[in-house]
Structure formats: structure tokens, C-alpha cells
Amino acid sequence: MEYLSVSAAQRCVFESVATLGVETVRLEQSLGRVLAEDIRANRDLPPYDVSAMDGYAVRSADLTGGPVELDVIEDIKAGDMPTKAVQAGQCARIMTGAPVPQGADAVVRVEDSETLSDGRVRFIKAAPSGMDIRLRGEGMRDGDVVLAAGAEITPGVAGVLATVKCAQFRVYRRPRVAILSTGNELEGIDEPVDPNKIPDANSYALMAQVQALGMEPVLLGIARDDPAELERYLRQGLEYDVLLVSGGTSVGVHDYVRPTVEALGVQMKFWRVAMKPGHPLAFGVLQRADGTASLVFGLPGNPVSSMVCFEEFVLLALRCSMGHARLHRRTVSARLAHPVKMRPGRTEFVRIVLSRDGEGYVATSTGNQSSGALLSMARADGLLVAPSDSNGLVAGETVTVQLLDGAAFQNETGYME
Ligand code: AMP
Ligand code: MG
């Protein structure tokens, strides 16, 4: 089989994924879930013209510039309804969010007024009609779609759902994900340290990557490089919607993952992708007679490769099956701080740290880029994506960086524009 390009392999994954049905959740339990229905406003908001400030509701015709003194006819707090209309020479004290009384067409903030000893209020400046009034329906209009299916429940979205009184709603079901590590050399996290063994990092890095997407994966443990043992574990893993297997997908004589999943009915879609790190990566689908399916990713054993393959392919599959409208990591442009050597013919993912100077983001390698150097991933803000036709990158070149989890925060200060 040919090496697939990263984009062709992503397309193949995308075309193999379907959403898994819907369920109803309460707003309190919905953070990170994805709406499976459009949500509409159930009334105009604000429901009437309201004051945007604490101050005085006035008639703009009374305040044309120059001092004017008005009688205060009423005190309107948020939650009150005005009882009187404002006539010429009058105003009403009004609080933020309170309905603007009839007759008034502007609000003057309290800072721009002066209360006189006889209780009247003096204004100096002109008040154009509409000033500091929020119009009925300005926030949302009754019946409008305010959130579309495919939107993730973020804090802002939760606020909107509460605003339209949506206490429960339909979201897409989340895929159930199983994780399996393979290799005779692997040592489980609770086993005593054996100098001849390699600690199982992948189960936990993949676990956290899945958790960061809002799912609770199941760790199946470590399977030895033994066809019968592997088959037992893989059978168990195929009961989940998505099975992530790391290690054993290469062409070594003890790499049994691919033949074993095939023997269990999984149709392999690809097992070679032109990328670094990442090779070898296998992807297949178990299609059952009842219409359900399981996706299997055979990820490389090297911890960085496994994580990068998760970022580029598994993330796409999981977000897609969760119904997300946004499937890909956000990218930013950055200037490269140093040259990067490359061989053309494969897409390279370089782990980088982002910083900022006066001109924008600067990308600097996290250091040793070996696919076993997990620290390079732990320190990274993002993955520099170097296109497969590149012979190498030069210092100062503008590059594309995919942001990783955690890159939304930084410890520099002083650039709040
Ligand atoms: P493999 O793909 O099975 O040939 O493994 C490639 C390399 O990744 C080997 O050096 C393995 O020891 C290492 N490796 C495989 N699985 C894991 C794991 N779960 N955690 C850490 N390293 C691993
Ligand atoms: Mg192995």
C-alpha cells in the first residue's frame, strides 16, 4: 500500500465516522457537550426598552445643551414597572435594566447630573434621543435561532441556554473509548520499577487526550506481544465505539495488531501515512450487521508519535462522532526562531513553544524532536505543521502552528490590547 498523505488519511477517517445518536442532558451537566438541536429565543430580550445606565430618563427635547433643571417624578429600579409618563420639564430616576418610562427617549448617567437642594436635578450636556437605552429585542428576538446544532456548550453558551430557559436539551452521545497498550517490554504504572522495562506512558497520555475532549476512556491495560493474548484484549476493545491501540502496528515479526484486528472482522482503511512523527499508523472500521460500528486506531508505540497521531486523526474522529461543528484545532501563524531541517515527501509536526514579540507569535522548538522524547510534547504549546513539499524551513519564515491543550494560557504579561 502507498503512503497516504495526512490530508487524504484525515478525509478517510472523516468519511468513516458517524454520530452516535442523541440523549437529553440537564444544563448543569452539559459543559463540553455538543447541541443536537437548534435553540431558539423564547421572547424578545430585553423585553422592553431599558436603561443601560444608572441615571435619569429624560426627554431629549428638554436637553439640547446648556443648563436645565428637571423635576424627578419617580424612582424606577430594575424589576419595577414605571407608573408615570415623563412630561416636558420632568425626568425619572432610573437604574440599569429598568424599563424606560413613556415620554422619555434618553438616559443621562448619574455622573452627568447634579442633584439640587430642592430635589430637582440639573443637567448641562445635551442628550441625543436613544442615548444609553437598550432597545427591546436588541439582545435576541423571539423565535430567532440563537444556537445551532453542532455548537459546543461553553460557559457563554450555557449563559445563553439559561437566558432562553432551556434547562434541558438534546446533545450528541459521546463515543465510548477504550485504550490498550501493547508490548512485552511495558511496565504498568503500579508495578515495581524493573530496569529492563519501559514504563507504559501511552495509556495515560492517550487517556488524558481523550479526557481533554470531554470523554471518560477505559484503560484495558497492557497486552503482551502474543497473538492469543492480544486477540482477547482486542475483542474486549472492539465492544467500544473507538479502540485506541498503541504499539505493535509496524511490520516487525512481533507486530500482531493489524493481522489480529483484521481476523476479528475489522476492515483496514490505511496503515501508512506520510508523516513524521507518526508512522506507522493504522486505521480500520468494524462494521456490524446491526448498523453499529467501531473504529480502531493502531497508533505507533513511540509516545510522541502516538500523541501526534491522536491530535491529527483520533481527535478528528472523536469530535466528529460527538457532533462538533468545529473539528480541527485552531492554528496561528508564527515566525520561526531558527531553521528546521526536513526531508520532503512527508508532513512534519515539530513540537514548539510559542512566545510573542512586537510583530506577533514566535515559534521555538521544544528541543530534542525524537519520537521517543515525550518531554518535547509535555512542554509544547503547539505543533508546527511543515508541509510535505518542504526541503526545510529557514529562520524568520512564517509557519502554521496547531495549538495544543493548555496553549490558551501563557505567563507573559503586557499585551492586553
Ligand atoms: P512499537 O510500535 O511497538 O514497535 O514500539 C515503538 C517504541 O515505542 C518502542 O521503543 C516501545 O518500547 C515504545 N512503546 C511502545 N508502547 C509504549 C507505551 N505504551 N509507552 C511507552 N513507550 C512505548
Ligand atoms: Mg511493540
Model pLDDT for residues 163-173, shown as the tens digit of each residue:
999 999 999 99
**Distance of alpha carbon 192 from alpha carbon 58, whole angstroms:** 78
Model pLDDT for residues 202-221, shown as the tens digit of each residue:
999 999 999 999 999 999 99
On the question of pLDDT at 21 being above 70, the answer is yes
Which residue among 198, 207, 260 is best mutated to probe the pocket of ligand 1, counting the most ligand atoms within 8 A of its Cβ? 198
Residues at CB less than 6 angstroms from ligand 1 = 181, 183, 185-186, 198, 200-203, 246-248, 250, 252, 300-303
How much is the average pLDDT of 309-335?
Answer: 97
The bound ligand whose nearest atom lies closest to the alpha carbon of 302 is 1
| HSE, side-chain direction, 13 A CA sphere, residue 381 | 20
Q: Which pLDDT band, with edges at 50, 70 and 90, does 50 fall under?
A: very high
Phi, psi of 209 (to 5 degrees): -65, -40
Q: Which pLDDT band, with edges at 50, 70 and 90, does 414 fall under?
A: low
CA 414–ligand 1 middle distance (angstroms):
43
User: Is the Cα dihedral 209, 214, 215, 220 positive or negative?
Assistant: positive
Output the pLDDT for position 267.
97
Strands in 331-376 per DSSP E: 331-336, 340-341, 347-357, 360-365
Distances in Å between the Cα of 86 and the Cα atoms of 40, 53, 61, 64, 121 are 35, 18, 12, 17, 14
CA 199–ligand 2 middle distance (angstroms):
13
Mean residue pLDDT across the chain: 95
Output the pLDDT for position 409.
84
Q: Which pLDDT band, with edges at 50, 70 and 90, does 92 fall under?
A: very high
- Going by alpha carbons, the residue nearest to atom 11 of ligand 1 is 301
- Going by alpha carbons, the residue nearest to atom 6 of ligand 1 is 301
Topology of the domain covering 23-45+148-172: Molybdopterin biosynthesis moea protein, domain 2 (3.90.105)
On the question of pLDDT at 416 being above 70, the answer is no
How much is the average pLDDT of 259-278?
Answer: 95
**Residues 320, 295 contacting (CB under 8 angstroms):** no
Output the pLDDT for position 413.
60
Output the pLDDT for position 214.
95
**Distance of alpha carbon 50 from alpha carbon 33, whole angstroms:** 34
User: Which atom of ligand 1 lies at the shortest distance from residue 372's CA?
Assistant: 8
> Any idea where the domains of the chain sit in the sequence?
6-21+174-321, 23-45+148-172, 50-134, 331-414
* DSSP assignment letter at 8: H
CA 246–ligand 2 middle distance (angstroms):
8
CA 346–ligand 2 middle distance (angstroms):
23
Which residue among 203, 246, 249, 281 is best mutated to probe the pocket of ligand 1, counting the most ligand atoms within 8 A of its Cβ? 246
CA 231–ligand 1 middle distance (angstroms):
19
Which residue among 179, 180, 184, 186 is best mutated to probe the pocket of ligand 1, counting the most ligand atoms within 8 A of its Cβ? 186
User: Which atom of ligand 1 lies at the shortest distance from residue 185's CA?
Assistant: 12
- Tell which CATH architecture fits domain 6-21+174-321: 3-Layer(aba) Sandwich (3.40)
pTM, full prediction: 0.93
CA 363–ligand 1 middle distance (angstroms):
29
How much is the average pLDDT of 332-361?
Answer: 95
Model pLDDT for residues 218-264, shown as the tens digit of each residue:
999 999 999 999 999 999 999 999 999 999 988 778 889 999 999 99
Topology of the domain covering 50-134: Molybdopterin biosynthesis moeA protein; domain 3 (2.170.190)
Neighbouring-strand partners of residue 114: 122
Model pLDDT for residues 284-304, shown as the tens digit of each residue:
999 999 999 999 999 999 999
Least confident span in 42-51, 250-259, 398-407: 250-259
Q: Which pLDDT band, with edges at 50, 70 and 90, does 98 fall under?
A: very high
Q: Which DSSP string corresponds to 216-243?
A: --EEEEEE-S-HHHHHHHHHHHTTSSEE
Residue 105 CB contacts under 8 Å (≥ 6 apart), including other chains: 58, 59, 60, 129, 130, 133
**Distance of alpha carbon 391 from alpha carbon 397, whole angstroms:** 13
**Distance of alpha carbon 69 from alpha carbon 124, whole angstroms:** 9
Residue type, 78: A
Three-class SS string for 121-182? EEECCCCCCCCCEECCCCCECCCCEEECCCCECCHHHHHHHHHCCCCEEEEECCCCEEEEEE
CA 248–ligand 2 middle distance (angstroms):
4
Q: Which CATH class is domain 331-414?
A: mainly beta
